[in-house]
Chains A and B, each alone.
Chain A
Amino acid sequence: MKKSFYLLLLAFASVFTSCKDDEDDDNTLASGKILFSTTVTNPSGDSGSGYLQAISELGGGVSYDNKNAIPLGFGSYPCVCESGNIYIFPDYMGGTELTLKRYVLNSSNQLELKGSMMLPANSSAAIVVEASREKAYVCCQSLDMIIVFNPETMKEISRIDVSPLRNDGVSAYPGAMCIRDNILYVALEQYNSQWMPVENSVEMALYKVSDDSFIKRIRNTSLGYCGPTRPIDDQSIFVDENGDLYVNCVGSFGFIPGLDAGIARIKKGETEFDESYRFNLNSTKVDGLSCDYLNMLGKCQYISDGIMYAYGYATGLDPENTNTYTARTGVPVIVDLKEKTVKVIKGLPLSNGHGMAMGIHKGKIVYGSANDSYNGFCTYDPETGDIETKVITVSGFPSFFYSFER
């Protein structure tokens, strides 16, 4: 008996010493000039993880899993700058490694990590804008802070404290950022504890890029909407070909009646909101939309000549589903910034709140879609108006798309 007892012990030991992960010897990343990420959530949609990968082709109904993807923090999207730098962030709610990572596509079109920088805890970091090869800004939204850093070395240079710009009873909550004419425009969300605005005001803080000094705060309460930029969407503030700066204001995400969404503009050469430009999305009837009005634009992609493609968000599209993460409330739309009109792109499926990736690939507008029958990508050709659905399918909700072949 004694002998068999020791044999059993030995068997246990051998089980544990022989336990190795199912390691895949093929450690090469997938390659290509197309980037996309998916978000894999729990059933309620409010937590999970993200995965980023590079692929070479968008078409043929190919199915991609996440086996070769780089894990991302949940709740924020990668930022791709004109320099080609690709930034990924820690989990927006915290709990993951607190580093900002810079990747590039290398000569083999594979994602290659070039450096990383520690961020403070609870940063909710989401947006990077680059001023030069040696200077960039990352917005730490929950800390009311912007960190200035060197992208080459990934070393922190300085910090900009935005908290003095808080309104009463709220947090300044810096959102998406943009640089125009050597001025850093920082959206101020002025959120309360549940990330909601409390009044119809559009505010921004302006800093000199040369020395990061504070220029002024601009605030407009006459436009009738609020929530300047979607804080995790770097395309929600952009400069058009005329030098005008547009801000997609998301209001209260459709939750609080009267706190509206709309588009604000700061004209070229000016540093105040253009009072003459008003585009309230909550009162603009949308052509082709079953519930008439959008709550906001969840994701946008400006093309040219005042035409912007977007994912409209309307709770009225799935009124029975109160889960804002999984309800089919995202609808692909064309926004005419000049005419102030919104039109639904017919034939593209409705998507949920996570599957709102958008981008441009070889002249086509690409929409991620987490719809009733698949998770994948669709395209719209602005020239012909042709649509193609399910061009590829993916594992998880398609939450980010960027192509270096625009």
Chain B
Amino acid sequence: MQPQIGGNKKTELHSLTICANENQRFSAKAKGYKMEMIIENLGFDVKRYGGKVASVMAIAMIAAVDATAQNDFNEADIKELEEITIVAKRNEIREMREAAMPVSVISTKLLEGTSSNINDALARTTGVTVRNTGGVGSASRISVRGLEGKRMGIYIDEAAMGQFSDYLSLNDVPTDMIERIEIYKGIVPYRFGGSALGGAVNVVTKEYPPVYLDASYELASFNTHKFNTAFKRTNKKTGLQFGVGGVYTYSDNDYEMKLPNLNNRVVKRDHDAFRKVMAGGSLKATKWYFDEAKLELVYTNTKKEIQGIDFDIREAYTHGQAGISALSLKKDNFIADGLDFDFDASFSYGQNGLNDKASYRYDWDGNRYNSVSPYGGEQGNYASDSDNRTKDLLSKLNLNYLLNKHHTFNLNLYATSMHQNPHNELMDLSFGYQTNFPSRMKSLTTGFSYDLTLFDGKFMSATTIKNFLFTSKTKALEHTFINNPVDIDMKKNYWGGSESLRYKFNKRMMAKLSFSSEVRIPTSEELAGNGYSVLPATDLEPERCNGLNAGVIYRRLTKFGVTEIEAGYFFNDLHDMIRYQADMIPSMARYANFGTVRSNGGEIEVKSDVAPVLYLYANATYQDLRDYREHETGSEAENPTYNKRMPNIPYLLANWGMDLHKENLFGGKKQNTRLLVDASYIHEYFYDFEMSKYQDRKIPSSLTFDACIEHSFNYDSWIISFKVKNLTDRVVYSELNRPLPGRNYSLKVRYVMK
């Protein structure tokens, strides 16, 4: 069967033999199938030293290649190898990159390098910006080609997690459990569903062997502790897999920060502790009616103190807890031959809030001030002790029909239902009336797609038409200044579509081109607020984006590995752009439609195994987002910011790095040592629109280096890594001049039993 290009299809195998003949042609035997793989075409890094087959990698390989059973394989030519380790370097990655849509892939090895979390790894990817606002557990926003925040689709194993972002973030997924991360730029694959614009991030978690235990502990600067564990056990006979796992993260985040608004005064953060506990279990069946039926349950609990920047906040914190359940059903040849069924549903019940009721505020000199509201509050004008309840239901049905090798049809239904019930008596007392109201929002996105494959797979086309339907029902204050709640009952319907093309000129060169006209429906937080810091914006219009993406990939196998060069161009015309912005009321924000914004840009990436022990990469992105409103709102007056660069969005970024690796560097056997260095550059950008030559509110250029030394024993069963982040101790700021940590260290020990 031809694997779905760009897909996440995994083949469950429990026994596997890898063989090779003298011509370096490899074969695998599994459950009666024999498959031949030619090393030259795959780019696998095959190492001949003792040990067992890394079956999980092999499974991934098999899923990615044309795994047509080849019964005419001549077994006489096969020379069985008893000692072999296969490291799947870029096999799936290459398949992903050959998909018609622009996509970047972060592999396991990159993830396990200098990255402490997913965001670190994403930030080094071409065209991706991650803007953290502080240390561990701080809010962060991911943008692809300048289009950021909630318009990005965030998926774990293709299941959307956007609606659970109050309780879970990408960073909560331990890097140890990730097989790879796919970053789709411009167009979101139709099978993901939903209404994301600008792109998507899909985290693909690892497949596990019959018995698997993974445990790690990391000790880092600022009293940071991270403990992750996962245990999986598969019963071969019943095909049932049981899994349990947990994550505990704690950090004081008490690093020193320089405050530009306070004459560059240096203070130590003193109220930024973060604690997160997650625990979960899963049950997966592979021998029932469905090829795969999986049920997962997760509980998460978070507490995060609020760090003051201009003021010394001493008591305020946010909290949240949620129970999340997810059901996944998959079956190939469902009802009819060639019809693949894929269904996901998840439900979460959560509680979150802001506790901010201190009677006094303090500046960094220790001077005490009364809170603005007599009811308390350090952050702003009001006191808060919120207890917001949320119920989110999300479901996705994907039916894929493979008519023949040329034609594939896909129907995707993606439905969401959100119910928020905010409760904040103290805030209501501060304002003198009810400020937040229950809200309900439902959406249904229907996508129909057609894939055309011609010329022996050289040409691929994916055409998608989508319909977006959403309803919203709530009450909202027309003005936050006065008690005048109005009923909001909204129903909207939009159409969109996309076309992606790919042509492979030869084994080394391919080109991609895609167009899209998409709609993004506002999230519940954007429409109804979050009950404390985000005000409702019930008149928000959905965003519409017309985009063009073009790219060329050159890939060549060398005697040391692979050299790859990729260049891309993109253009987006975004209407009614939804933007997060500060409100007149201090510490409050809201989402608002900005108007028309155009983005134009290009990116280039080069990476190469330049020597048997050395891998280098470099990439650069230029993303130019400009205000395209010609006139002031409701006026013929010229818009003073017309064609000016959108503020607070970096526009010139670059990364480069190296991976120096050597087996048994210090003698011994079954050991591997890696030295990794990554550098990241972000060019200075403006906090506001660039109007005056005297404008000094800028986020300064930053050039940071991270380094890591990692040593593994017994074929990666034990891994010890030592990381230094911000090696040169540069003063770094993120968006809105949020100070980030200086040089910091971490030591991690990981054990994998497989």
Residues of A participating in the B interface, judged by any CB pair closer than 8 Å: 1-2, 5, 8-9, 12, 15-16, 19, 21, 23-24, 27, 38, 40, 42-49, 51, 65-71, 75, 90, 93-99, 118, 120-122, 124, 142-145, 163, 166, 168-171, 192-196, 198, 252-253, 255-256, 321-322, 324, 326, 328, 370-375, 395-396
The one of A43, A94, A370 that contacts B592, using a Cβ cutoff of 8 Å? A43
* Residue B652 CB within 8 A of the other chain: yes
User: Considering only CB atoms, which chain B residue lies closest to A5 in the complex?
Assistant: B608
User: What is the minimal beta-carbon distance from B186 to any residue of chain A, in angstroms?
Assistant: 23
| Known A5-B616, A19-B683, A373-B637; contact A43-B593, beta-carbon cutoff 8 A | yes
Asked if A2 and B692 sit within 8 Å, CB to CB, the answer is no
| Known A44-B592, A97-B260; contact A1-B620, beta-carbon cutoff 8 A | no
Contacts of B554-606 to chain A: CB distance below 8 A: 556, 558, 563, 565, 579, 581-586, 592-595, 604, 606
Residues of A within 8 A of B579 (CB): 42
* Residue B688 CB within 8 A of the other chain: yes
Asked if A40 and B689 sit within 8 Å, CB to CB, the answer is yes
Residues of A within 8 A of B361 (CB): 122
Asked if B586 and A121 sit within 8 Å, CB to CB, the answer is no
Query: Which of A45, A122, A370, A374: most chain B Cβ within 10 A?
Result: A122
Alpha-carbon separation in the docked complex, A69 to B610 (Å): 52
Give me 10 other A-B pairs in contact (C-beta within 8 A), A8-B618, A49-B688 excluded. A8-B604, A69-B694, A90-B261, A120-B367, A169-B375, A171-B374, A193-B432, A256-B482, A322-B478, A326-B633
Alpha-carbon separation in the docked complex, A397 to B636 (Å): 13
Residues of B within 8 A of A196 (CB): 481-482
Asked if A120 and B641 sit within 8 Å, CB to CB, the answer is no
Alpha-carbon separation in the docked complex, A372 to B631 (Å): 10
Asked if A98 and B261 sit within 8 Å, CB to CB, the answer is yes
Asked if A42 and B640 sit within 8 Å, CB to CB, the answer is no
Alpha-carbon separation in the docked complex, A142 to B367 (Å): 15
Asked if B652 and A19 sit within 8 Å, CB to CB, the answer is yes
The one of A8, A16, A170 that contacts B374, using a Cβ cutoff of 8 Å? A170
Asked if B640 and A66 sit within 8 Å, CB to CB, the answer is yes
Q: Which 8 A-B pairs have the closest CB atoms?
A: A121-B310, A395-B640, A193-B430, A193-B382, A66-B691, A193-B381, A44-B592, A255-B482
Residues of A within 8 A of B185 (CB): none
Q: How many pairs, one residue from A and one from B, have CB atoms within 8 Å of each other in the complex?
A: 211
User: What is the minimal beta-carbon distance from B148 to any residue of chain A, in angstroms?
Assistant: 16
Asked if B691 and A67 sit within 8 Å, CB to CB, the answer is yes
Asked if A12 and B656 sit within 8 Å, CB to CB, the answer is yes
Alpha-carbon separation in the docked complex, A196 to B579 (Å): 27
Asked if A1 and B636 sit within 8 Å, CB to CB, the answer is no
Alpha-carbon separation in the docked complex, A400 to B579 (Å): 28
Contacts of B678-734 to chain A: CB distance below 8 A: 681, 683-684, 688-689, 691-697
Residues of A within 8 A of B583 (CB): 46-47
Asked if A93 and B584 sit within 8 Å, CB to CB, the answer is yes
Asked if B481 and A43 sit within 8 Å, CB to CB, the answer is no
Query: Which of B369, B478, B652: most chain A Cβ within 10 A?
Result: B369
Asked if B691 and A395 sit within 8 Å, CB to CB, the answer is yes
Residues of B within 8 A of A168 (CB): 374
Residues of A within 8 A of B479 (CB): 255, 322, 324
* Residue B431 CB within 8 A of the other chain: yes
Alpha-carbon separation in the docked complex, A291 to B696 (Å): 44
User: What is the minimal beta-carbon distance from A16 to any residue of chain B, in angstroms?
Assistant: 6
Asked if A70 and B694 sit within 8 Å, CB to CB, the answer is yes
User: What is the minimal beta-carbon distance from B109 to any residue of chain A, in angstroms?
Assistant: 19
Q: What are 13 contact pairs spanning A and B, CB under 8 A?
A: A38-B640, A43-B593, A51-B692, A97-B263, A122-B310, A142-B381, A142-B586, A143-B369, A192-B430, A322-B478, A371-B637, A372-B637, A373-B637
Asked if B691 and A46 sit within 8 Å, CB to CB, the answer is no
User: What is the minimal beta-carbon distance from A375 to any residue of chain B, in angstroms?
Assistant: 5
* Residue B75 CB within 8 A of the other chain: no
Alpha-carbon separation in the docked complex, A67 to B691 (Å): 6
Alpha-carbon separation in the docked complex, A15 to B214 (Å): 43
Asked if A321 and B594 sit within 8 Å, CB to CB, the answer is no
Contacts of B292-319 to chain A: CB distance below 8 A: 310-311
Contacts of B613-627 to chain A: CB distance below 8 A: 616, 618, 620
User: What is the minimal beta-carbon distance from A224 to any residue of chain B, in angstroms?
Assistant: 19
Residues of B within 8 A of A118 (CB): 262-263
User: Considering only CB atoms, which chain A residue lies closest to B683 in the complex?
Assistant: A19
User: Considering only CB atoms, which chain B residue lies closest to A9 in the complex?
Assistant: B618
Asked if B641 and A94 sit within 8 Å, CB to CB, the answer is no
* Residue B80 CB within 8 A of the other chain: no
Residues of A within 8 A of B556 (CB): 1
User: What is the minimal beta-carbon distance from B418 to any residue of chain A, in angstroms?
Assistant: 24
The one of A12, A19, A93, A321 that contacts B582, using a Cβ cutoff of 8 Å? A93
Alpha-carbon separation in the docked complex, A68 to B691 (Å): 9
Asked if B373 and A171 sit within 8 Å, CB to CB, the answer is yes
Asked if A198 and B689 sit within 8 Å, CB to CB, the answer is no
| Known A118-B262, A193-B381; contact A326-B634, beta-carbon cutoff 8 A | yes
Contacts of B351-386 to chain A: CB distance below 8 A: 361, 363, 367, 369-370, 372-375, 381-382
Asked if B691 and A120 sit within 8 Å, CB to CB, the answer is no
Asked if A374 and B636 sit within 8 Å, CB to CB, the answer is yes
Alpha-carbon separation in the docked complex, A143 to B367 (Å): 11
The one of A2, A253, A373, A395 that contacts B481, using a Cβ cutoff of 8 Å? A253
* Residue B177 CB within 8 A of the other chain: no
Alpha-carbon separation in the docked complex, A23 to B690 (Å): 12
Asked if A24 and B693 sit within 8 Å, CB to CB, the answer is yes
Asked if B683 and A121 sit within 8 Å, CB to CB, the answer is no
User: What is the minimal beta-carbon distance from B596 to any residue of chain A, in angstroms?
Assistant: 10
User: What is the minimal beta-carbon distance from B563 to any residue of chain A, in angstroms?
Assistant: 6
The one of A38, A98, A195 that contacts B262, using a Cβ cutoff of 8 Å? A98
| Known A142-B586, A194-B585; contact A43-B629, beta-carbon cutoff 8 A | yes
Residues of A within 8 A of B67 (CB): none
Asked if A9 and B369 sit within 8 Å, CB to CB, the answer is no
Alpha-carbon separation in the docked complex, A375 to B261 (Å): 31
| Known A2-B610, A68-B692, A255-B481; contact A372-B584, beta-carbon cutoff 8 A | no
Asked if B370 and A321 sit within 8 Å, CB to CB, the answer is no
| Known A9-B656, A19-B683; contact A372-B620, beta-carbon cutoff 8 A | no
Asked if A193 and B691 sit within 8 Å, CB to CB, the answer is no
Asked if A67 and B634 sit within 8 Å, CB to CB, the answer is no
User: Considering only CB atoms, which chain A residue lies closest to B611 in the complex?
Assistant: A2
Alpha-carbon separation in the docked complex, A46 to B584 (Å): 6
Asked if B311 and A121 sit within 8 Å, CB to CB, the answer is yes
Alpha-carbon separation in the docked complex, A145 to B633 (Å): 37
Residues of B within 8 A of A145 (CB): 369
Alpha-carbon separation in the docked complex, A46 to B311 (Å): 23
| Known A12-B654, A171-B374, A196-B481; contact A44-B311, beta-carbon cutoff 8 A | no
Query: Which of B381, B382, B692: most chain A Cβ within 10 A?
Result: B692
| Known A5-B606, A145-B369, A198-B432; contact A51-B480, beta-carbon cutoff 8 A | no
Alpha-carbon separation in the docked complex, A49 to B695 (Å): 11
Asked if A96 and B261 sit within 8 Å, CB to CB, the answer is yes
Instruction: Give per-residue flags for B406-438: 1 if the beta carbon is below 8 A from chain A beta carbons, else 0.
Output: 000000000000000000000000111000000
Residues of B within 8 A of A144 (CB): 369-370
Contacts of B419-463 to chain A: CB distance below 8 A: 430-432
Alpha-carbon separation in the docked complex, A151 to B478 (Å): 43
Asked if A1 and B558 sit within 8 Å, CB to CB, the answer is yes
User: Considering only CB atoms, which chain A residue lies closest to B583 in the complex?
Assistant: A46
Alpha-carbon separation in the docked complex, A373 to B631 (Å): 9
Residues of A within 8 A of B620 (CB): 12, 15
Residues of B within 8 A of A2 (CB): 608, 610
| Known A192-B431, A255-B482; contact A43-B595, beta-carbon cutoff 8 A | yes
User: What is the minimal beta-carbon distance from B158 to any residue of chain A, in angstroms?
Assistant: 34
| Known A68-B693, A122-B310, A371-B635; contact A47-B374, beta-carbon cutoff 8 A | no
The one of B310, B654, B656, B684 that contacts A98, using a Cβ cutoff of 8 Å? B310
Query: Which of A43, A44, A67: most chain B Cβ within 10 A?
Result: A43
Asked if B691 and A47 sit within 8 Å, CB to CB, the answer is no
| Known A8-B618, A40-B689, A49-B688; contact A71-B696, beta-carbon cutoff 8 A | yes
Asked if B593 and A120 sit within 8 Å, CB to CB, the answer is no
